[in-house]
Amino acid sequence: MNFWPSTCQQYLVPLKYTCRMNPEVLAESTDPDFEMEYIDIGNVSLEHGIGQLQAFRFYGAPSRARKIVRKGDTLISTVRTYLKAIAYIEEDHTNWIASTGFAILRPDVGIDPRFLYRVAQASPFVEAVVASSTGVSYPAINPSTLGSIEIPLPDLVTQKAIADFLDRETARIDQLIEKKERQVSLLKEKETALVTAAVTKGLNRKAGMTETNVGWLGSVPSHWTVCTLGLRYSIKLGKMLDQARQTGQHLRPYLRVYDVQWGTINVNDLPQMDFTPGDRARFRLLPGDLLVNEGGSYVGRSAIWEGQIEECYYQKALHRLRPHDATRDSSRFFIHVMSAATRLGVFIAGGNQTTIDHLTAEAFGKYLFAFPPIDEQLAITAHLDDRQNEIRKATLSIEQSISRLREFRSALITSAVTGQIDVTTWSKRGTTDRRLDAIEADMARAAQSERQQVRA
């Protein structure tokens, strides 16, 4: 299947004529103590290449760890091809071993290794690989089919010019993306500091303070109450799932762990279970209920039930919190407390995410928190809601800019390897990738807006 534009049709050749595929594998007679760093599909991405690797000795390595890689090789995932796991080996690593789920492309003489890698990154090639894969849940492409996919192949001088151009331009784009990602990280740190300060110190910086001897709380305003959660909130774990009761006369929708994200709850395509009248009284959610994840890697993740649908329940992996006295405590304030506590690792035993499986209702109820008077709770909530909205708008703007840069990078690679731009002058040749034109114009407008803001 050919996805390449007309600008490069005359240069198309099957991939198998440009490289050797899977040239080396580890023999079963390999020294059992041979130390390797293993490249799995999950370690590789189209944009970032190879991430952190796992170290093994041959005797303990996965049976898939067999393909030897060398400097100049390109790796392409042949299983779960929708993940688009493609990477380039820039340096010689004598102990890097890739999964058999990759095809290893080793360029022939007369083929620039970096150019072959850029062709493999180009959208038409990626689309061809995905389209040629078979299987629904685990799509894969066999080496023969992969080798038959055509790619553009100009002369070696042009290949090198394109590779040099893309090395330079993608590095510049990557630096911009890295700076913007750092800005997003700083905004998240700012938000954490803002929330933590507000829920532990209040808004009045002149208030007298009292030491709590609770590590993450530190000193709190003297007129606040420090006590266990169970004295202020009722905590009820959700309904245990019963596969035998997925049918019945009283089917009702219920929330699962992944339906409860930070600050938002998904009510689309909820499963249903038969809730008896007694269970409906115990586990029905009311507007204002605070739902908290009770375990796993997302322990503490919380959201407020807003009554998005008329009737809904929740499963055992979630705690439901309600203030004993709604005139004294606000769940909308306490979700900010949960945000600060969770980000600071309060519910992770010993600071190690793997050492806690479940936060029981009994244990949760014994945690100490600081509770201001209700008027301060409401004032802090309003303040944080406003400030967080500002931070999130700024974050969204930066993330959209990052997305545009990534699209621009992808379009630039495709345009260069297909001859839609002259890489020696960075000028366009006829019709280019429409994304390139649109993103260029968008980025130019954004840059002009930023300059105007600076001048203002």
Per residue in 214-223, pLDDT tens?
999 999 999 9
pLDDT for the residue 296:
77
User: Residue 429 pLDDT more than 60?
Assistant: no
Contact between 222 and 208 under an 8 Å Cβ cutoff? The reply is yes
pTM of the model: 0.78
Contact between 410 and 123 under an 8 Å Cβ cutoff? The reply is yes
Range with the lowest mean pLDDT among 201-215, 350-364, 370-384?
A: 350-364
What mean pLDDT is reported for the chain? 88
Tell me how far CA of residue 422 lies from CA of 156, 159, 161, 203, 428, in angstroms: 15, 12, 10, 59, 6
Residue 239 DSSP class: B
pLDDT in tens, 339-349: 999 988 898 76
Among candidates 416, 401, 402, 403, which has minimal Cα distance to 124? Answer: 416
Residue 207 corresponds to which tokens in the numbers above? 């208030």
User: Residue 353 pLDDT more than 50?
Assistant: no
User: Residue 298 pLDDT more than 80?
Assistant: yes
User: Residue 20 pLDDT more than 50?
Assistant: yes
> pLDDT category, 7, cuts 50, 70, 90?
confident
Residue in the structure block whose two tokens are 């007129």? 223
Q: What is the mean pLDDT of residues 234-260?
A: 79
User: Residue 445 pLDDT more than 70?
Assistant: no
User: Residue 34 pLDDT more than 90?
Assistant: yes
User: Residue 351 pLDDT more than 60?
Assistant: no
Residue type, 388: Q
Among candidates 268, 266, 304, which has minimal Cα distance to 285? Answer: 304
What span, in angstroms and rounded, lies between the C-alpha atoms of 33 and 99?
19
pLDDT for the residue 434:
56
pLDDT for the residue 251:
86
Residue in the structure block whose two tokens are 């020696």? 424
> pLDDT category, 433, cuts 50, 70, 90?
low
Q: Which residue has the higher pLDDT, 191 or 248?
A: 191
User: Residue 449 pLDDT more than 90?
Assistant: no
393 φ/ψ angles, rounded to the nearest 5 degrees: -65, -45
- CA angle centred on 89, ends 85 and 94, rounded to 5°: 120
Contact between 18 and 108 under an 8 Å Cβ cutoff? The reply is yes
User: Residue 394 pLDDT more than 50?
Assistant: yes
Residue in the structure block whose two tokens are 């040099």? 164
Contact between 304 and 331 under an 8 Å Cβ cutoff? The reply is yes
Q: What is the mean pLDDT of residues 3-32?
A: 93
User: Residue 362 pLDDT more than 80?
Assistant: yes
Q: Which residue has the higher pLDDT, 37 or 257?
A: 37
What span, in angstroms and rounded, lies between the C-alpha atoms of 372 and 369?
10
Q: What is the mean pLDDT of residues 179-204?
A: 94
Among candidates 394, 391, 396, 388, which has minimal Cα distance to 198? Answer: 388
Percent of the chain with pLDDT over 70: 89
pLDDT for the residue 444:
65
* Residue-wise DSSP of 296-314: GGGTT-EEE----SSS-EE
Highest averaged pLDDT of the listed ranges 107-121, 304-318, 414-428: 107-121
Q: What is the mean pLDDT of residues 388-400?
A: 92
Q: What is the mean pLDDT of residues 142-166?
A: 95
CB atoms closer than 10 angstroms to residue 424: 11
What span, in angstroms and rounded, lies between the C-alpha atoms of 84 and 120?
10
pLDDT for the residue 275:
86
What span, in angstroms and rounded, lies between the C-alpha atoms of 328 and 317?
28
